[in-house]
Chain A
């Protein structure tokens, strides 16, 4: 609820006259108006820059320095103004907050200077408006991170972490090699062995010089087969041990097994074990050879060591649709041109274009402007179409590639921004919800504590520990009176969420009676006598736990009443006999009846501490009499 619309509260209250003819219950009396001082101009001199504003504007937020009596400390008699030795540029925003109800954060200001000014003037930064809140939070976070980094650099050596189980510390070591020297050693050792294994795979296919008695050259792999086998075994052992350790340390094994890196690990070491099992079988040696190809996947294990590789993989994954489109359009073009070339070259003799699939190779080579020259068209038509093919190849490939590149950068930036927004969205929604419920809860708290106008200090402190600055108590009491009028119009009460939930469950069990105002016209005198007494103590205190001691007031938290069947407090028993007559009326629905009895508005608002018994009976006579079995 913005105090910015405080100026419209008189309008909302005046419009409440529209409810009067249809109201089911009499209205509560209005809160006592505080004496309005003359609204004058206040001069605020901030380091020489003079600001002027109405006193009422500043007093909208009595919780801040400028809105409370704290500003008197800064009053300068000689010049009849308030002098602050602070930054006038930032003060401009603070004063605008009073004027508009929205606090903005200027981007060019230093975040710590701004925070200091806010703290000085007693304004909570959480009320910064939505337009500037993200920026403010970002800068705040950067600042705190910078401070944290500085602190970490200072006491890096003595960083002792509290209990981390061995498993957790192992996992941390795996994920962050920089945490401990062991992790770093492990990191480099695995990296080294990956490199060695890949190099071995490459080198073993190089032809080594053949021995004197051999006719053909053999690859190094065949010549030094044992050496390579030992090397391979060593690498695979290291990789297996690493994989098993990761599997043990993983906090969620199922998630780990599903992850891409673990699949790569498995694919890297599986061929070796399969090869061990299948060495003697000659038929599947062909398959065995194929399996060795998979050993090259070990190179992907490097992605744990290189962040860039990971980002590349991720972005390729996210660009999958664009790549798919590229592939599709290429395939279309290939098929078209291959068909055309085949039929064009069909007439020439000894052409290499034996079939359409054979022409595919030519088309691909031509479109990507490779032009190997192993297949060339010989007929004139073939040459014409061949040139068209190569020209269009340039276009077809050139078109999607910038799209992919721009998609690339767009996705990258978007993911960055989306992550930021996602991180802030939850807090943002929580903030909005808190301020909204703070406003609503303020009213419920207010009801719980009774409608007070005079002891507003305590009431406004308890009524609504919300994120927003406390609004002018007069505004609050008037707003609460308005909400109370609405309750009386509809004959229903506001309750908070949990109460509503419990009510729903209760309602499903018992059927409430819908008889409306069975107005009891009990003798006013009897009422007045007991009720004036009530005014002085905490009356109707059925639920002691929720009531704050010493509060006048009568509107109870109905949920607590509902739980009991019969009110047991002494004050209830000393009530007028007429009330007790009503209780046996609907005996099976006592819970509701007692609630109804209690929900009478007494007029504590206008009676001061002394309790003029003369004034209260008048109110009681006119307002109390309705007892409605809700």
Chain B
């Protein structure tokens, strides 16, 4: 029946049209080129060779030159297969994304690493405080700490010994505040934090742990 065959042809034609429109709307992802090697060398405490190695690894995973939050979460989750690392990765991303533009460029990445691996203890503690202070207002509240601790416990996953209970993160937060909050005002300021950490031997020692990671 001629009308039938025409109808089939019409239908096929319409279905193929739809795809092309959607393809056009997809723009290519943003591309970013980092600053020159010399500049980065001056700004960070890495040597030229180390920067080269870092950049190669970075660009391998993110060919466009920037990491957005989803890619970041994906990469970080690969190291913690048993649990859910996405919440903590979100906090980490915020800590690395210093200019808060939603993506971590190689400069941000390398600056962060420079502090973490080659910085003074003061700088490292500063960075940690910045990580915990979710809204970056200079104070760590119990809620913020609870979020952070919960996200760390999330990374452990379900199969732990002993089994994770509901109140475990909360108790952990309590212990932390007992230790850190000297004037008992319910928040931890940067000075209280740094003071307390510098007096804690274990924390001091653990800060030196990752010196020679690169």
Which residues of A are in contact with B by a Cβ distance under 8 Å?
1-2, 4-24, 26-27, 29-30, 33, 39, 99-100, 394-395, 398-399, 401-402, 405-406, 436-437, 439-440, 478-479, 482-483, 485-487, 489-490, 492-497, 499-500, 503-504, 507, 512, 514, 516, 558-559, 592, 595, 622, 630
Contacts and interface: CB of A to CB of B under 8 A. Distances in A.
A514 B171 contact: yes
A15 B92 CA distance: 8
A1 B152 contact: no
Given A18-B127, A490-B152, A494-B156, 13 more contacts: A2-B78, A8-B75, A11-B109, A17-B124, A398-B4, A437-B81, A485-B209, A490-B172, A492-B156, A503-B163, A516-B175, A595-B161, A630-B161
Interface string B99-114: 0000000000100110
Contacts of B164: 492
Contacts of B156: 486-487, 490, 492, 494
Interface of B: 1, 3-5, 7-8, 11, 53-54, 56-58, 60-61, 75-76, 78-82, 91-92, 95, 109, 112-113, 116-117, 124-125, 127-128, 131-132, 145, 148-149, 152-153, 155-164, 168, 171-172, 175-176, 180, 193, 197, 201-203, 205-207, 209-210, 212-214
A12 B79 contact: yes
Contacts of A559: 161
Given A13-B210, A13-B213, A5 B78 contact: yes
A7 B149 CA distance: 27
Q: What are the nearest 6 A-B pairs in CB distance?
A: A7-B57, A500-B159, A14-B116, A492-B160, A27-B206, A20-B206
Contacts of A512: 162
| B81, B132, B148, B180 pick with most chain A CB within 10 angstroms | B81
A4 B79 CA distance: 12
Contacts of B159: 494-497, 499-500
A12 B76 contact: yes
Contact of B161 (A2, A394, A493, A622): A493
Contacts of B124: 17
B15 to A, nearest CB: 10
B7 A24 contact: no
15 contacts: A2-B78, A7-B57, A8-B57, A10-B57, A18-B92, A20-B128, A22-B145, A22-B172, A30-B212, A486-B152, A492-B161, A492-B168, A494-B160, A503-B162, A630-B162
Contact of A21 (B158, B201, B203, B205): B203
Nearest to A592: B162
Nearest to A14: B116
B6 to A, nearest CB: 9
Contacts of A17: 116, 124, 127-128, 207, 209-210
A95 to B, nearest CB: 14
B210 A1 contact: no
A24 B175 contact: yes
Nearest to A500: B159
B117 A14 contact: yes
Contact of B163 (A2, A26, A486, A507): A507
Given A495-B160, A495-B161, A504-B163, A399 B82 contact: no
Nearest to B119: A17
B210 A16 contact: yes
A406 B11 contact: yes
A479 B57 contact: no
A482 B205 CA distance: 16
Contacts of A486: 80, 152, 155-156
Contacts of A20: 128, 203, 206-207, 209
Contacts of B92: 15, 18
Contacts of A13: 210, 213
Contacts of A440: 81-82
B113 A7 contact: no
Given A9-B79, A21-B197, A493-B160, A406 B8 contact: yes
Given A30-B209, A492-B164, A500-B158, A402 B202 contact: no
Nearest to B159: A500
B207 to A, nearest CB: 6
B175 to A, nearest CB: 7
A223 B207 CA distance: 109
Nearest to B60: A7
A597 to B, nearest CB: 15
Contacts of A394: 3
B140 to A, nearest CB: 10
A27 B208 CA distance: 11
A398 B81 contact: no
B149 to A, nearest CB: 6
B1 to A, nearest CB: 6
B20 to A, nearest CB: 21
A27 B8 contact: no
Contacts of A7: 56-58, 60-61
| A29, A493, A494 pick with most chain B CB within 10 angstroms | A494
A401 B210 CA distance: 71
Contacts of B54: 10
B210 A30 contact: yes
A382 B8 CA distance: 34
A14 B213 contact: yes
A1 B60 contact: no
Contacts of B161: 492-495, 499-500, 503, 558-559, 595, 630
Nearest to B162: A630
Given A8-B75, A440-B82, A21 B128 contact: yes
A398 B3 contact: yes
Contact of A500 (B160, B175, B213): B160
Contacts of B145: 22
Nearest to B180: A21
A439 B81 CA distance: 7
Nearest to A492: B160
Contact of A489 (B152, B158, B205, B210): B152
A26 B176 contact: no
Contact of A23 (B56, B153, B202): B202
Given A398-B3, A398-B7, A439-B81, A8 B61 contact: yes
A22 B82 CA distance: 21
Nearest to B50: A10
A178 B193 CA distance: 83
Contacts of A485: 209
A488 to B, nearest CB: 9
A516 B173 CA distance: 13
Contact of B206 (A8, A26, A405, A497): A26
B160 A22 contact: no
Nearest to A398: B3
B193 A479 contact: no
Contacts of B113: 10-11, 14
A27 B206 CA distance: 6
Given A12-B76, A20-B203, A23-B206, A492 B61 contact: no
A514 to B, nearest CB: 7
Contacts of A479: 79
Given A1-B78, A2-B78, A4-B61, A402 B7 contact: yes
B193 A22 contact: no
Given A27-B206, A500-B158, A10 B213 contact: yes
Nearest to A514: B171
Contacts of B109: 11
Contacts of B203: 20-21, 23
Contacts of B79: 1, 5, 8-9, 12, 479, 482-483
